[in-house]
A and B are shown apart, each in its own frame.
Chain A
Amino acid sequence: MAVGVKPRVKVPKTAAAGDVITIKTLISHKMESGQRKDSDGNKIPRSIINTFTCDFNGQNVMSAELHGAISTNPYFQFEATVPESGEFTFTWLDDDGSIYTDTKSIAVS
Chain B
Amino acid sequence: MKISNLHRFVQIAATATVAFGLASIATAQDNDKLVVNGEIEMVTRTAAPSYIDGIDEIISGWNFRTDETQALQMDDFDNSGMLGVDAAQEAWDTVQGPEQKSCATCHGNVSSMVGVRTVMPKYNEEAADLWTLEDYINNCRTERQNVEPWGYTSGPMTNMSALISVQSRGMPMNVAIDGPAAPFWEAGKELYYTRTGVLELSCASCHEQSAGLRIRADHLSQGQINGFPTYRLKNAKLNGIHARFKGCVRDTKAETYKPGGPEFHALELYVASRGNGLSVEGPSVRN
Inter-subunit contact B236/A6 (CB<8 Å): no
Inter-subunit contact B236/A73 (CB<8 Å): yes
Which single member of A4, A71, A75 contacts B87 (CB below 8 Å)?
A: A4
Q: CA of A28 to CA of B83 in the docked complex: distance in angstroms?
A: 7
Give residues of chain B (58-111) contacting chain A, Cβ–Cβ below 8 Å: 77-78, 80, 83, 86-87
Q: Which residues in A have their C-beta under 8 angstroms from that of B236? A: 71-73
How many A residues are at the interface, by size bracket? Answer: 10 to 19
The smallest C-beta distance from A39 to any residue of chain B, in angstroms, reads 16
At the interface, yes or no: A8 with Cβ under 8 Å from chain B?
A: yes
Inter-subunit contact B83/A24 (CB<8 Å): no
Which single member of A6, A8, A28 contacts B77 (CB below 8 Å)?
A: A8
The smallest C-beta distance from B87 to any residue of chain A, in angstroms, reads 7
Mostly, the A contact residues are strand
Q: Which residues in A have their C-beta under 8 angstroms from that of B77? A: 8, 10, 24, 26
Q: CA of A6 to CA of B86 in the docked complex: distance in angstroms?
A: 10
Q: Which residues in A have their C-beta under 8 angstroms from that of B78? A: 24, 75
Give residues of chain A (59-102) contacting chain B, Cβ–Cβ below 8 Å: 71-73, 75
Q: CA of A73 to CA of B77 in the docked complex: distance in angstroms?
A: 12
Inter-subunit contact B87/A26 (CB<8 Å): no
Q: CA of A75 to CA of B83 in the docked complex: distance in angstroms?
A: 12
Chain A, residues 8-43, CB within 8 Å of chain B (1/0): the string is 101000000000000010101000000000000000
Contact A26 to B80, CB < 8 A, known contacts A71-B236, A72-B236: yes
Q: CA of A26 to CA of B237 in the docked complex: distance in angstroms?
A: 15
The smallest C-beta distance from B239 to any residue of chain A, in angstroms, reads 14
The smallest C-beta distance from B88 to any residue of chain A, in angstroms, reads 12
The smallest C-beta distance from A59 to any residue of chain B, in angstroms, reads 25
Chain B, residues 214-241, CB within 8 Å of chain A (1/0): the string is 0000000000000000000000110000
Q: CA of A19 to CA of B237 in the docked complex: distance in angstroms?
A: 36
Most chain A CB within a 10 A radius of its CB, from B83, B86, B236: B83
Q: CA of A75 to CA of B236 in the docked complex: distance in angstroms?
A: 12
The smallest C-beta distance from A71 to any residue of chain B, in angstroms, reads 6
Q: Which residues in A have their C-beta under 8 angstroms from that of B237? A: 72
The 7 closest A-B pairs by CB, nearest first: A72-B236, A28-B83, A10-B77, A73-B80, A24-B77, A71-B236, A73-B83
Binding site for B on A (CB under 8 A): 4, 6, 8, 10, 24, 26, 28, 71-73, 75
Q: Beyond the given A4-B87, A72-B236, A75-B78, could you list 4 further A-B residue pairs with CB under 8 A, ordered by the A residue number? A: A6-B86, A24-B78, A26-B80, A71-B236
